[in-house]
A and B are shown apart, each in its own frame.
Chain A
Amino acid sequence: DVKVTQSSRYLVKRTGEKVFLECVQDMDHENMFWYRQDPGLGLRLIYFSYDVKMKEKGDIPEGYSVSREKKERFSLILESASTNQTSMYLCASSFGRAETQYFGPGTRLLVL
């Protein structure tokens, strides 16, 4: 079974803090993705990576950055958290670019 884990299920941070969200997959998948999920908006792609040290912007990259130093790990960074970044963050991975994406359990982030 594919396993995608996220470092925290719930996080509470203050405005202006730097926030790290970690994602790890154990299936040797090439591709990893970060989404945010907001009610009524579905899932929106923030950043993705097709290889180690490679990253590409998704649909809503502003205010975020990512890091992929190892194949199994993909980190999402909020350089200076803002209240409008309060959301559910979902990490996903897939073997090939056209392959099915498998999701982690999500991190619910509250920025005060």
Chain B
Amino acid sequence: GQQLNQSPQSMFIQEGEDVSMNCTSSSIFNTWLWYKQDPGEGPVLLIALYKAGELTSNGRLTAQFGITRKDSFLNISASIPSDVGIYFCAGQLAPEYGNKLVFGAGTILRVKS
């Protein structure tokens, strides 16, 4: 079945540092999504990417849809304590596969203040 490899699994960073995480797959996706999950809550959508090569920003967040459609990265600039949480990538398959969402295992972000 389709799998997403998300890395790193977890990271500690200093407040103010930039953060980078990525997802790769052997499958091709039509859409890439990045979600953040706070402790005890459901995932909240951060950024959606719909086209290969697309680079999109949302405040301090920047994400890119890889040109091969098999990967995506998320960058967070100047991290702050409220960035703590789990970040998930999700790739959406083509209609012939039911538009199914495939999730990465998550990147746990911990910030040292």
A positions within 8 Å CB-CB of B: 4, 9, 40-45, 56, 59, 90, 97-98, 100-106, 108
- Residues in A neighbouring B42, C-beta threshold 8 A: 4, 90, 103-106
Q: Is B99 an interface residue (CB 8 A)?
A: yes
A–B Cβ pairs within 8 angstroms, 28 of them: A9-B40, A40-B9, A42-B4, A42-B6, A42-B88, A42-B104, A42-B105, A43-B88, A43-B90, A43-B103, A45-B100, A90-B43, A97-B99, A98-B31, A98-B95, A100-B31, A100-B33, A101-B33, A102-B45, A103-B42, A103-B43, A103-B44, A105-B40, A105-B42, A106-B40, A106-B41, A106-B42, A108-B40
B positions within 8 Å CB-CB of A: 1, 4, 6, 9, 30-31, 33, 35, 40-45, 48, 88, 90, 92, 95, 98-101, 103-106
- Among A40, A45, A59, A103: residue with most chain B CB under 10 A: A103
A59 adjacent to B1 (CB under 8 Å): yes
Closest chain-B Cβ to A3's Cβ sits at a distance in Å of: 11
Closest chain-B Cβ to A15's Cβ sits at a distance in Å of: 25
CA distance A91 to B95 in the complex (A): 21
Shortest Cβ distance from A41 into B: residue: B105
CA distance A98 to B40 in the complex (A): 27
11 further A-B pairs in the complex, CB-CB below 8 A; given A42-B103, A90-B42: A40-B105, A42-B104, A43-B90, A43-B103, A44-B103, A56-B98, A59-B1, A100-B31, A103-B42, A104-B42, A106-B40
A42 adjacent to B106 (CB under 8 Å): yes
Shortest Cβ distance from B35 into A: residue: A103
| 9 A-B pairs closest in CB distance | A103-B42, A42-B103, A43-B103, A42-B105, A97-B99, A105-B42, A106-B42, A98-B99, A103-B43
Closest chain-A Cβ to B31's Cβ sits at a distance in Å of: 7
Closest chain-A Cβ to B54's Cβ sits at a distance in Å of: 15
- Among B45, B48, B104: residue with most chain A CB under 10 A: B45
